[in-house]
Structure 1
Amino acid sequence: MMQSHQEEYEEMVEIGGFRQHQHTASDDSHPRLLNDNMRSNRSSRVNPDDFASPQWPPSIAGTGSSPSLTLRSGATTPYDHMSSSKHLIFADSRSSTPMTGRSPSKEVSSSDSDDQNGIAILHDRDDADIWKGWKRHLYTLTPLLTVLNTGIYLTYLGLRIACVILAQKASGLTFAAAWVFIAVELAVAIPSLMHNTWTMWSLKKRNRPKMRLTGNDVPTVDAFITCCGEDDELVMDTVRGACDQDYPIDKFRVIVLDDGKSAGLERSCAILSHTYPNLYYMARTKIPGQPHHFKAGNLNYGLEQTTLLPGGAGQFMAALDADMIPERDWLRALLPHAVMDPKMALVCPPQLFYNTPPSDPLAQSLDFFVHVIEPIKDAMGVAWCTGSGYVARRDALEQIGNFPLGSLAEDVATSTLMLGKGWKTAYVHEPLQFGTVPEDYGSHLKQRTRWAIGTVDTSFKLNFCLWGEKVRQMTFAQRFSGFLYAALSVYTVLLSISLFAIPIILIMGKPLVAYANDTQLRWLIRACFANTIVNRLCEFVLFIPAGYHTGQRGSRYQLWMSPYIALCLIRAFILPKWLGGQTQAFKPTGSISSALNERDPKLKKNMFRRLWVILVNYMAGFHLAFVYLTLVAVTLVTYRCFFQQSHSTRDILIALVTHAFWPPLTFIFICSSLWTPVGYAIDPPRMPEREDLLIRDAETKVAHPTAQSKKIAFGGQAAWFEFEYTFSTLYTCLIFVLSFLF
């Protein structure tokens, strides 16, 4: 259900501190339990001591039979092939129930029995199946190359500054354009430098094994699926995938938390519950005029209601977004990391997608974050909760007051608060869930600006993780990480302002690079060459886990999204309301229908309509203006160099290089990046129907993405950007060679 502007405003009133929302129990607010023999007493909380059976939940476990672990879709279980795996065995795991609240202890065993209850270690690395071979060996050079790249860049920057100072002393003039150009280059490079600082810390190797729970004696789990207005069939694909888990049916529940109160979804859940009696549908009552706290409030409602179900709450809770279809071994893959360590509060897998268009023009895949950044964060003990697919320990949630309210990024806030209380978080680098990216430009902007505002808002409340009671038990690495990623979001304001300095200084016709003599110019060119080549090499190695083209898309994304994020941050945290200040309210991904249908070959609007909406309604006119002004400025500078003055070939080349075409042609990279929204409006990618991207079991209707849909196809745009990068690199090499000839 779409939220009104009044509700959004009332929600924002609550932002200012984390508060736990107390729900009032009523007939309408209680869950509608789909199986009559599983109904709980709605008038009071369930007292676990009233149940004689130590199993969970009594309505299922009381049948006296152990459920089969054969998947309903007919597939074999993931641990049918673990006979050669090393096992860690639970000791006294049967005493671990919602009634006792005790965590299972563990000990090492050499047993190879497939029926053994415990943990099987399949590999010493959880990402062993994602990337391996020469790529893994080359990737070990990342810290060294990062240190080298940072050192060379700082040397080059220092040489640039020294040459400007010497040139000013020699000529008695002030080279304002050269100083501004240095500032712009530094502004563009700062995000990379900050990431480099973090990456250099990854000298500490990440050693998280690939594990699986085995047997039937496993922890109890409440798996929540949060939704609010998404297409019913989209949600049901997630529900079926969650129900079809390779996990004892008496040890987990699937609970649909529907904030949209869809009658069709409720009916579909009721039908499916006849096949899966551990499926529940719940829809809370939202009173007009009272903040309901969106996803965080919905999750907290689910946490409260599970205490009223037979057997009480599970030892762990898990959460899935409405569109995230889990793999069959989702729970068995994540839970061992929490079972092995009683201080492990949260375990999270990557968010992967199956409807990413070819070339991923808007960088929606998150591949760079989930394959590069999150593993580095995990190695430093700072894994973030990324919003879907995670498993959390109920004890840890209770200690922080459940999900924090008044935040647009409850997932980041939750994991940060857990770390602040001394708990641990883990990132499991396995493909365990696949969802959908927003299918239109507007929804993509709302999703990403919401993330940015939520991250910064959380950081403000936690003093950027530098001091305060809520972060008292954080390590230095955890504090630095919290500060770094909030600072990078805030930095977009400065970056956006600095971008327009490029066309301005070019139109001025002043040299971008100042020097006192030819020797200085030669060394500046050589230092620029060294910096460019090492930077390209460092990028190639750093991007290996995600793919080189994915990393380049991420770099362009940081530039073209900066104006949007900067504008939202200024409105949210700087401008008063009477000057247009506002905090963007939460909008569930997928609940906003596309006005353009730009990826649907049959329904998409014409190009004029797409350009108008994206340039005007979504303010991409800023991007178009920048590209236009920059190209006009470059044309004017080129004309002046060739025709306004009589020069030799050598003088013309030097004038071109020092006025507009300084390697590695930074203006081309920036222009092509900011052209992204305009290019997207002109030629949006085409995508097939969602059903064509899935393999669906004809009998059970359980669907999983095809192998092809899980990959990002290589398209024309990726080829163009690769040509652009190659051209700028070769141009830098050419100028380097010419520095020895002229």
Structure 2
Amino acid sequence: MGNGSNNESVEDTHRNPFTTPYMSRRASQQSQRSVSPESSIGKDSSDASKDGSHTMPGQESDNSSFPQASMNIRPPLELGRTHGNRTLSDLYDESPPGTPLTSAAGRRPWLGRPESEATLMGMSESPSATPYQNTPYASTDAFKSLIPNMSSIELNEKTGLRDMHVVELNRKDDHAHMPPWKRVIFKMSPILCMLTLVAYWTYFTLRIIFVLSSQRQTGKTFPMAWVFIGTEVAVAIPLFIQTLWNVFILKSRNRPQLRLVGEDVPSVDVFVTCCKEEVDLIVDTARAACEIDYPRERYRVVVLDDGADPELETGINNLAQMCNYQNLHYRARKKIKGVPHHFKAGNLNYGFEEVCHMYGGASSYIAALDADMIPEPHWLRALLPHMVNDPKMAMACPPQLFYNIPRGDPLAQSLDFFVHICEPIKDALGVAWCTGSGYVFRREAVEDIGMIPLGSLAEDVATSTLMLGRGWKTAYVHEPLQFGTVPDSFASHLKQRTRWAIGTVDTSFKLNFCLWGKNISGMKFMPRVSGFLFAILSLYNIPLMISLFALPIVLMSGKPLIAYANFEQLQWLIRACFAAVMINRICEFALYLPAGYATGQRGARSQLWMSPYISLSVVRSFFLPKWLGGKVQNFKPTGSLKDELNERDPATRAHLLRRLKAILLNYNGMYHVIYVYFCLSAISLSSSRCVAQNDNIHDKLLCLLTHALWPPLSWLVIVGAFWVPITYAIDPPNMPTREELLVVDAKNGVRRPTEKAKLIGWGYRDAKFEFVYDFTTVFTTACFVASFFINS
């Protein structure tokens, strides 16, 4: 199968193992033209757009010869899209039910949903189920030109840099992320984490001991006290797991900041995966990828369009013509209705096969960018050294950073806690995950695991986990190397986060929670621990939601939530609670420093208010039978995703009533309203009973303390978190347009995020929630002081 040509040789035919129609490129409209392999690569883009090869014209050029005429000119595009700046992973469901997730050994499908196990096993030999086979490179030379008639030797003679070498810029790749004084405080966080765990478990142990003591002394049972303990422990368990993981900050992370220097560098295939995103968004990414600091003949940029958008095809071809990007290519696989195409995973695998038939063959390294991720100029030169230095390094991945997060980040869309705290810890333990964009894979490693797994909702996590399972290494490079966009609507944010949770759980089930199985036979101990803990955290949303909804029932019962045999026990309970709260608050300040204190608190709130959405999605995807509403897909609101509220655009956003209707009814925000209503009603009822049923102030206060007002007033924090969707509907943040967040690079016309856009500003919402945290802390302190004066 040639590049838009029927003039195939027998050798080319044997080289291409794909015979299934849906894996073919677009059918050539000029299939009768006889073209040599060289002209097939270098033909005019207008012809390329007709015959499906989409390769770029032009003579030899380097990055310095950027045409001034095209500096501030955008390719002529039709930009009247209605779906906004969304990404493939945010908006489109992954593989349909019955999709196997291939494994390296024997290419057997992974088992998924119990009721579909037989279907999966039956499909294991189906060509449509596992269409991708390991194919040899068209060229195994890692140092080769990917553009016809381009010689790397000539470039080397110009620059004087004949040989590639790696330079260490700094002992730490993230040396510029925090000032020294913050690093010193952050290094104390493991000790504070341990103290937090000890303090909380001491407190809960005392609670249990004193309830038992009270029951023995009075001969009564205190069921609500036990339920309240269970509720508090359930809410605290995610904190315990995360805190326990954070103790590993103690392990030194020795990832230096490296740069690949020279022009004789490895060849790289750069994929830009897209599917019906805004054309202008994709063109910006493609243009930035074509203007990175890397010899142009040593990498190609392939836009893999799963939406087969003729508007995008025109935009990419126009960009290549105007800017003379000979290494820019457009590809769109042909998909047949009813035949599984596996969405992003299938698109990536198509790209892996497609480059085998392009000039120069497949490269030794594969890099990928999401449609909205604009890479920094030194992107490849920063990642590749970590792989060049270690032949067992399968992946190097940078953090995902964003430039369109609104001030105050009300939905906690920033990934800063994960990329600045969690991932560096995992990297230190040898457990770096693929974060989904900006990564570089070693092609040999991808082929070793049987290509990108097809049956996972989180193909990035599944791929890196399988690599670890085969004994490969992965690296997390903590440098700001790419900036993209977050979903700009409440609906798409829900879809993205529930998809991530389901993908993590799905991969964990198929890999036996990284505890056993042939797919992880080469995995070391800490990767197994990491895979198990993060899967448990995703599953834990189910008991967390149950515990949260039990809280108003406990409060409404009128029974004492705190049981004790004497006032001395009550005093010690208050003091233990105070110690746990204060140590935890200090730990939060130290631990959140790399991401920002406000970011850490937003993430904690998000875990609470997102728990109903995630738990419902997990239950429907993995536990409910189909006749009760179970389905193998991620959460999808009842409203249409195409029905834009434009909630962040002050000029075009829908009016208040429409926003409330959409979020409360279409996106199930009514659950949050009902929960807040019942919590506040329960607090009011419990408090009024204490006031009405006791005669003196001492008894009234003691009743309030042991019922609704037990420190640290956890219900107040939970109610505040559950009110986030409602606050968002009433008062959504204002955001500038994407164009206002970008600035044109005068040297090459690339649009990059402004420095201000890369930052997350402190908003008034942060101040409101901080008031809640401060109030609960002050209240707990007041109770601690009062404990010295409590008497019978």
- TM-score normalised by structure 2 residue count: 0.81
Shift in Å, 1:607: 1.2
Deviation larger for 576-585 or 717-726: 576-585
Task: Choose which of 275, 293, 316 in structure 2 pairs with 1:228.
Answer: 275
Change (3 A) 1:608 1:62: closer
- Residue correspondence of structure 1 range 48-87 to structure 2 within 5 A: 67=62
Q: Give the Cα–Cα distance (whole angstroms) in 1 for the partners of residues 36 and 691 of structure 2.
A: 82
Task: Choose which of 154, 157, 168 in structure 1 pairs with 2:204.
Answer: 157
Which residue in the other structure is 1:7 paired with?
none
Change (3 A) 1:299 1:361: same
Q: Give the Cα–Cα distance (whole angstroms) in 1 for the partners of residues 366 and 761 of structure 2.
A: 35
Q: Name the SS for the 1:39 alignment partner.
A: helix
Which residue in the other structure is 1:443 paired with?
492
The code of the aligned residue for 2:507 comes to T
Q: Give the Cα–Cα distance (whole angstroms) in 1 for the partners of residues 143 and 193 of structure 2.
A: 42
Shift in Å, 1:117: 2.8
Which residue in the other structure is 1:202 paired with?
249
Change (3 A) 1:213 1:98: farther
Task: Choose which of 196, 221, 224 in structure 2 pairs with 1:174.
Answer: 221
Shift in Å, 1:29: 6.0
Q: Name the SS for the 2:483 alignment partner.
A: strand
Q: Name the SS for the 1:740 alignment partner.
A: coil
| Contact persistence 1:31–1:305 (CA under 8 A) | no
Which residue in the other structure is 1:213 paired with?
260
| Contact persistence 1:35–1:277 (CA under 8 A) | no
Which residue in the other structure is 1:51 paired with?
none
Gaps of 5+ in 1: 1-19, 43-58, 75-96, 105-112
Which residue in the other structure is 1:264 paired with?
311
Change (3 A) 1:505 1:470: same
Shift in Å, 1:60: 10
Shift in Å, 1:36: 9.6
Matched positions, count? 672
Which residue in the other structure is 1:145 paired with?
192
Change (3 A) 1:66 1:714: same
Change (3 A) 1:26 1:176: closer
Shift in Å, 1:741: 2.3
Q: Give the Cα–Cα distance (whole angstroms) in 1 for the partners of residues 18 and 702 of structure 2.
A: 66
Task: Choose which of 684, 695, 698 in structure 1 pairs with 2:732.
Answer: 684
| Contact persistence 1:39–1:309 (CA under 8 A) | no
Q: Name the SS for the 1:307 alignment partner.
A: helix
Change (3 A) 1:528 1:103: farther
Which residue in the other structure is 1:89 paired with?
none
Q: Name the SS for the 2:297 alignment partner.
A: coil
Q: Give the Cα–Cα distance (whole angstroms) in 1 for the partners of residues 67 and 419 of structure 2.
A: 31
Say whether residues 1:245 and 2:296 are aligned partners: no
Shift in Å, 1:650: 2.4
Q: Give the Cα–Cα distance (whole angstroms) in 2 for the partners of residues 235 and 458 of structure 1.
A: 29
Q: Give the Cα–Cα distance (whole angstroms) in 2 for the partners of residues 146 and 295 of structure 1.
A: 39
Task: Choose which of 641, 644, 648 in structure 2 pairs with 1:599.
Answer: 648
The code of the aligned residue for 1:300 comes to N
Task: Choose which of 336, 356, 366 in structure 2 pairs with 1:307.
Answer: 356
Q: Name the SS for the 1:125 alignment partner.
A: coil
Q: Name the SS for the 2:357 alignment partner.
A: coil
Q: Give the Cα–Cα distance (whole angstroms) in 2 for the partners of residues 421 and 433 of structure 1.
A: 28
Shift in Å, 1:32: 11
Shift in Å, 1:539: 1.4
Q: Give the Cα–Cα distance (whole angstroms) in 2 for the partners of residues 712 and 393 of structure 1.
A: 34
| Contact persistence 1:225–1:321 (CA under 8 A) | yes
Which residue in the other structure is 1:28 paired with?
26
Which residue in the other structure is 2:371 paired with?
322
Shift in Å, 1:132: 2.1
Shift in Å, 1:472: 0.6
Say whether residues 1:694 and 2:742 are aligned partners: yes
Change (3 A) 1:38 1:724: farther
The code of the aligned residue for 2:491 comes to G
Q: Name the SS for the 2:386 alignment partner.
A: helix
Which residue in the other structure is 2:49 paired with?
none
Query: Sequence identity of aligned pairs in percent?
Result: 55
Say whether residues 1:739 and 2:740 are aligned partners: no
| Contact persistence 1:377–1:383 (CA under 8 A) | yes
Change (3 A) 1:615 1:66: closer
The code of the aligned residue for 2:407 comes to P
Q: Name the SS for the 1:134 alignment partner.
A: helix
Task: Choose which of 705, 711, 733 in structure 2 pairs with 1:657.
Answer: 705
Q: Give the Cα–Cα distance (whole angstroms) in 1 for the partners of residues 789 and 619 of structure 2.
A: 50
Which residue in the other structure is 2:454 paired with?
405
Q: Give the Cα–Cα distance (whole angstroms) in 2 for the partners of residues 632 and 287 of structure 1.
A: 55
Q: Name the SS for the 2:296 alignment partner.
A: coil
| Contact persistence 2:375–2:438 (CA under 8 A) | yes
Shift in Å, 1:576: 1.3
After superposition, what is the alpha-carbon deviation per residue over 1:531-566, rounded to whole angstroms, capped at 9, x for unaligned? Answer: 000011111111110000100011111111111011
Which residue in the other structure is 2:331 paired with?
282
After superposition, what is the alpha-carbon deviation per residue over 1:105-143, rounded to whole angstroms, capped at 9, x for unaligned? Answer: xxxxxxxx9886311111111111111221001111121
Shift in Å, 1:595: 2.2
Which residue in the other structure is 1:39 paired with?
40
Which residue in the other structure is 1:560 paired with?
609
The code of the aligned residue for 2:625 comes to P
Shift in Å, 1:512: 1.1
Q: Give the Cα–Cα distance (whole angstroms) in 1 for the partners of residues 41 and 243 of structure 2.
A: 54
Q: Give the Cα–Cα distance (whole angstroms) in 1 for the partners of residues 788 and 56 of structure 2.
A: 81
Say whether residues 1:715 and 2:755 are aligned partners: no
The code of the aligned residue for 1:540 comes to F
Change (3 A) 1:98 1:67: farther
The code of the aligned residue for 2:139 comes to M
Shift in Å, 1:644: 2.9
Q: Name the SS for the 1:489 alignment partner.
A: helix
Shift in Å, 1:26: 4.3
Which residue in the other structure is 2:236 paired with?
189
Which residue in the other structure is 2:623 paired with?
574
Change (3 A) 1:30 1:549: farther
Task: Choose which of 182, 188, 203 in structure 2 pairs with 1:135.
Answer: 182
| Contact persistence 2:508–2:535 (CA under 8 A) | yes
Shift in Å, 1:39: 2.2
Shift in Å, 1:652: 2.0
| Contact persistence 1:21–1:405 (CA under 8 A) | no
Q: Give the Cα–Cα distance (whole angstroms) in 1 for the partners of residues 241 and 191 of structure 2.
A: 16
Which residue in the other structure is 1:99 paired with?
139
After superposition, what is the alpha-carbon deviation per residue over 1:201-231, rounded to whole angstroms, capped at 9, x for unaligned? Answer: 3321111111111110111100000000001
Change (3 A) 1:658 1:608: same
Q: Name the SS for the 2:271 alignment partner.
A: strand
The code of the aligned residue for 1:380 comes to L
Change (3 A) 1:626 1:320: same
Shift in Å, 1:101: 4.7
Which residue in the other structure is 1:87 paired with?
none
Task: Choose which of 515, 518, 521 in structure 1 pairs with 2:570.
Answer: 521
Change (3 A) 1:560 1:102: same
Say whether residues 1:382 and 2:382 are aligned partners: no
Which residue in the other structure is 1:670 paired with?
718
Q: Name the SS for the 2:648 alignment partner.
A: coil
| Contact persistence 2:18–2:24 (CA under 8 A) | no
| Contact persistence 2:396–2:474 (CA under 8 A) | yes
Say whether residues 1:393 and 2:432 are aligned partners: no
Task: Choose which of 421, 428, 441 in structure 2 pairs with 1:372.
Answer: 421
Shift in Å, 1:596: 1.1
Shift in Å, 1:606: 1.3
The code of the aligned residue for 1:170 comes to Q
| Contact persistence 1:61–1:250 (CA under 8 A) | no
Q: Give the Cα–Cα distance (whole angstroms) in 2 for the partners of residues 483 and 730 of structure 1.
A: 37
Task: Choose which of 466, 469, 482 in structure 1 pairs with 2:518.
Answer: 469
| Contact persistence 1:381–1:478 (CA under 8 A) | yes
Shift in Å, 1:62: 13
After superposition, what is the alpha-carbon deviation per residue over 1:48-105, rounded to whole angstroms, capped at 9, x for unaligned? Answer: xxxxxxxxxxx99998x7845788899xxxxxxxxxxxxxxxxxxxxxx97345699x
Say whether residues 1:353 and 2:410 are aligned partners: no
| Contact persistence 1:202–1:380 (CA under 8 A) | no
Change (3 A) 1:193 1:277: same
Q: Give the Cα–Cα distance (whole angstroms) in 1 for the partners of residues 37 and 460 of structure 2.
A: 34
Q: Give the Cα–Cα distance (whole angstroms) in 2 for the partners of residues 379 and 624 of structure 1.
A: 42
